[in-house]
């Protein structure tokens, strides 16, 4: 089964990378293999998930899907190769601020942290091959119901089992079903491989983005922090949807950063940011909140960039988002029952919650506590560590990143504000929900927050050359 599972991952990643290669705006910026591979793998996971969903709507979860998907990959690869050959002549060089080489000790530390994190991930998966509670009562249960259901796969969305959240979007579950279709049967290695791809794919993308946009040393330091955030690895191995949605948030942020630098020459990065935002919505319901916050972030950046550019970005973003809106709408209208959180809301009760100042205070207190202690590994919390790090290294923001940093900071702040409002106005058992969900919501934003921070903080290479 393992070779077939590996093939499932390779097909998805290769399809994503070649598709991205096909649409890469070579006239604006040269193709970068590290960044293109990391971004393409994430897009490939999304494309595979949507393809399987559409396939299931037409034919159910049948064994022919891997053959058809692999055939499509071959077509895409031929087009991608032809385009790459053409672009090799036309591409201008990539403009980055890479300078000098990272110190050897940083490379060693990065290697050690990655090895230790992979070993821990494997250990956690051996300890809990079915993941944590929400994994087997929700994500893997839905995957099983679809895979085992055959022609009756849509019974997986029965409203008779509302506790399993049958309205949740299908990214993770469909990728698990896909892995089993490739393997020819159920194996818990399938969900483990999906979880590992999302977890270490996030690290790879953060590193590749910072390597391309800042420096190698910066990429290693940021990866060290992410790999050393205990909850990131532990939760990644629990097979929940939070790390996957965090990856698509990060993809959107990276595409917006590329758009910030090269947006005057091409609209394609804005389109890709829209697509990534749509894929986040296809992963978890929190992705729905992400859409208006990104739009607001782009609008806020308009004060600095001027409205014509904002209009351009918004149109591109909307074009990328639209296909995923249609896919998500078809799922919500055809298969998904009503969301349990919304279904249990009553106007009187909600108004009572809104008017209750204790809920605001409790939520605020928990937000402050959880943010301050996030990533605590015994040595200290990641929040305080990074605060000290920024004070030590200093800030050096590139002028052409100003647009993006405004957008990114606005989006992150609005996401936190959005979660705050949802807790205050919708949570039935507020203390319990804050306790069980807040760290997961922070984790979704963590890789993107690290990207923002390491895009503006001085790199180790710059610090070394300052003396």
3-state secondary structure of 395: strand
Residue 53 and residue 166 in contact, taking contact as beta carbons nearer than 8 Å:
no
Q: Which of 52, 125, 210, 247 binds other proteins (CB under 8 A)?
A: 125
Q: Which of 172, 203, 219, 225 binds other proteins (CB under 8 A)?
A: 225
- 126 is an interface residue for other proteins by CB under 8 A: yes
State the Cα–Cα distance between residues 234 and 182, nearest whole angstrom: 27
- 272 is an interface residue for other proteins by CB under 8 A: no
Within residues 98-117, the interface with other proteins by CB under 8 A covers: 105-106, 109, 112-113, 116-117
Instruction: Give the residue from 42, 88, 329, 362 showing the smallest Cα distance to 199.
Output: 42
State the Cα–Cα distance between residues 189 and 183, nearest whole angstrom: 10
Q: Which stretch binds other proteins (CB under 8 A): 21-29, 160-168, 202-210, 365-373?
A: 160-168
Residue 276 and residue 251 in contact, taking contact as beta carbons nearer than 8 Å:
yes
Query: Would you mind telling me the total number of residues written for the chain in this entry?
Result: 467
Measured from the CB atom, the residue of 20 and 233 that comes closer to other proteins is: 233
Measured from the CB atom, the residue of 188 and 299 that comes closer to other proteins is: 188
How many other CB atoms are there within 10 angstroms of residue 91's CB atom?
17
State the nearest-atom distance from the C-beta of 155 to other proteins, in Å: 6
State the nearest-atom distance from the C-beta of 441 to other proteins, in Å: 22
State the nearest-atom distance from the C-beta of 382 to other proteins, in Å: 7
Dihedral angle over CA of 455, 460, 462, 467, nearest 10: 150
State the angle between helix axes of 357-373 and 430-456 in degrees (0 to 180), rounded to the nearest 10. 50
Which residues are CB-contacts of 22 (< 8 A; sequence separation ≥ 6)? 76, 79, 80, 83
Instruction: Give the residue from 378, 398, 374 showing the smallest Cα distance to 387.
Output: 374
Measured from the CB atom, the residue of 143 and 294 that comes closer to other proteins is: 143
CA distances from 189 to 1, 116, 184, 237, 284 (A): 9, 20, 13, 12, 22
- 162 is an interface residue for other proteins by CB under 8 A: no
Contact string 358-397 vs other proteins (x = CB under 8 A): -------------------xxxx-x--x--xx-xxxx---
Q: Which of 161, 296, 300, 422 binds other proteins (CB under 8 A)?
A: 161
- 128 is an interface residue for other proteins by CB under 8 A: yes
Q: Please give the biggest Cα pair distance in the chain.
A: 68
- 196 is an interface residue for other proteins by CB under 8 A: no
Binding site for other proteins (CB under 8 A): 105-106, 109, 112-113, 116-117, 119-120, 122-130, 136-137, 140-141, 144-146, 148-150, 152-153, 155-156, 158, 160-161, 163-164, 188, 221, 224-225, 227-230, 233, 377-380, 382, 385, 388-389, 391-394, 458, 460, 463-464, 466-467
């Amino acid at each position: 089964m393992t070779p077939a599972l590996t093939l499932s991952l390779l097909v998805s990643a290769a399809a994503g990378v070649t598709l991205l290669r096909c649409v890469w705006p070579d006239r604006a910026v040269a193709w970068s293999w590290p960044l293109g591979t990391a971004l393409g793998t994430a897009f490939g996971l999304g494309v595979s998930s949507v393809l399987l969903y559409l396939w299931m709507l037409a034919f159910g979860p049948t064994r022919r899907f891997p053959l058809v998907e692999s055939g499509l990959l071959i077509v895409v690869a031929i087009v991608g190769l032809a385009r790459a050959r053409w672009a090799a002549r036309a591409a201008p060089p990539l403009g980055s601020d890479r300078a000098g080489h990272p110190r050897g000790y940083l490379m060693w530390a990065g290697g050690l942290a990655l090895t230790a994190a992979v070993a821990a991930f494997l250990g956690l998966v051996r300890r809990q091959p079915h993941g944590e509670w929400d994994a087997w009562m929700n994500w893997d249960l839905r995957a099983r119901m679809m895979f085992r259901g055959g022609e009756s796969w849509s019974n997986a969305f029965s409203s008779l089992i509302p506790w399993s959240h049958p309205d949740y979007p299908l990214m993770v579950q469909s990728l698990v079903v896909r892995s089993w279709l490739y393997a020819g049967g159920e194996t818990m290695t399938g969900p483990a491989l999906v979880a590992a791809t999302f977890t270490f794919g996030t690290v790879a993308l953060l590193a590749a983005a910072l390597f391309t946009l800042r420096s190698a040393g910066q990429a290693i330091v940021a990866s060290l922090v992410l790999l050393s955030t205990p909850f990131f690895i532990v939760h990644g191995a629990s097979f929940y949807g939070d790390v996957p949605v965090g990856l698509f948030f990060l993809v959107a942020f990276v595409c917006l950063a590329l758009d910030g630098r090269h947006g005057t020459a091409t609209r394609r990065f804005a389109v890709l940011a829209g697509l990534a935002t749509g894929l986040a919505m296809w992963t978890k319901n929190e992705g729905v909140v992400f859409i208006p916050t990104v739009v607001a972030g782009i609008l806020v950046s308009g004060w600095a960039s001027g409205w014509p550019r904002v209009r351009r970005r918004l149109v591109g973003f909307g074009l990328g988002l639209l296909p995923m809106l249609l896919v998500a709408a078809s799922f919500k209208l055809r298969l998904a029952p009503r969301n349990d959180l919304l279904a249990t809301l009553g106007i009187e009760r909600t108004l009572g919650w809104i008017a209750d100042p204790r809920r605001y205070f409790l939520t605020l207190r928990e937000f402050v506590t959880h943010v301050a202690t996030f990533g605590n590994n015994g040595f200290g919390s990641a929040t305080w560590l990074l605060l000290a790090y920024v004070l030590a290294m200093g800030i050096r923001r590139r002028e052409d990143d100003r647009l993006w940093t405004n957008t990114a900071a606005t989006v992150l702040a609005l996401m936190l504000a959005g979660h705050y409002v949802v807790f205050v106005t919708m949570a039935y058992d507020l203390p319990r929900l804050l306790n069980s969900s807040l760290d997961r919501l922070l984790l979704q934003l963590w890789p993107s927050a690290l990207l923002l921070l390491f895009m503006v903080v001085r790199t180790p290479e710059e610090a070394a050359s300052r003396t």
